[in-house]
Amino acid sequence: MNRTRRAFTLIELLVVLGIIAVLLGLLLPAVQKVREAASRLKCLNNLKQLGLALHNYHDTQHSFPPGLISEETNVSDAEATGFTLLLPFLEQQNLRNLYHFEDPWFQPSNFQVVGIPVKLFFCPSNRDSGSIDLAPVAAQWSTSLPPLAASCDYAFCKGANGALVRDANRTPGQVRGVFAVAPPGPSGGVRLTDIADGTSSTFALGEATGGNSFYLVRDLNDPTQAVVYSLTGLPTPIDQAWGAAGAGDPSHPFYGSVFGVTAQYCLLPEPRDEPMNRRPATPTVASGDPRGDNRLGSMHPGGCNFLFCDGSVHFIPQAIEAAVYRALSTYAGGEVVAGVDY
């Protein structure tokens, strides 16, 4: 006996599709939350690996590396970064073999190596790779530069003062971070015994998201506006590189650097705080006047991951009190830090 199978009516089909759409709408945020949790965990692990490298470097050289190495007083032409010095301690033997440590990053002998991305230097919540195109800059300044500089999403904490000068004595001791500019030499960095505020209460590195349109470069004269890049006539995302050690100047504030600060001036009554996740993002300029230095920011909701000088890694909320944030960025400020929600 043949029976006729009843098909779905249009109304029933629309109801089913509606239910599926609602379920997908409920499921998508959960999937995104799980994915972000995994990315944040990978980012924490990246910083832990950088912490191990810093301590291994310290065991060998008896100090942390400087953030930038500059033979000239003009640090716009700095020769190397602290990330370069850490390569041998990050299981990057191939890069170490390619890099000519006796030459500045902008010499032809290092053109190839500074353009090679290192996965450890990227926060997975932001990107897996990336680089800065230096060809337009080289053409503008009529100079020779590597075609590409591989990017980086982490920055050395320079403290609570944005003045980018080689002479550390020009920055008050109570606002200095663990990393600064130093001339070439076997030492030049801060020792663990110098960290009077305690290694568990002092930032070493933090996140500095680059190459993302969420963080455009800001105008130094107007913190609310993005600066227009002179070569394109458009705003541009801030970015920095692990190997390119230079910085801009107040007339060309288009890039970040391997440094991050929590304030531009720090000294009261107006410290010129540099809030976490600030938008537009502050560029880095080589100047004795602390008008610009790279900010600390991430793509994680509500805060950033930070590596502390004892090797621990913590997620610091964006809503942290400004005075506490500044205190965590200095190593000999004498502040009492309390009430931080790690």
Tell me: the pLDDT tens digits for 239-275?
Answer: 999 999 978 888 888 889 999 999 998 877 889 999 9
Identify residue 110 by its one-letter amino acid code.
Answer: N
Residue 322 and residue 276: Cα distance in Å, rounded? 9
What is the CB neighbour count within 10 angstroms for residue 313? 20
Quote the pTM value. Answer: 0.89
Structure token pair of residue 232:
């394109």
Ranges of residues in the chain whose predicted pLDDT is under 70? 1-8, 12, 24, 27-34, 186-188, 288-290, 338-342
Residue corresponding to tokens 């080289």: 138
Residue 280: cis peptide before it, omega within 30 degrees of 0: yes
Residue 183 and residue 245: Cα distance in Å, rounded? 13
Q: In this structure, are residues 121 and 209 in contact, taking their beta carbons and an 8 Å threshold?
A: no
Q: Helical H runs in the chain?
A: 10-61, 82-86, 93-98, 135-141, 322-329
Return phi, psi of residue 237, to 5°.
-65, 145
pLDDT in tens, 149-163: 999 999 999 999 988
Residue 137 and residue 12: Cα distance in Å, rounded? 62
Q: In this structure, are residues 254 and 261 in contact, taking their beta carbons and an 8 Å threshold?
A: no
- How much is the pLDDT for 312? 97
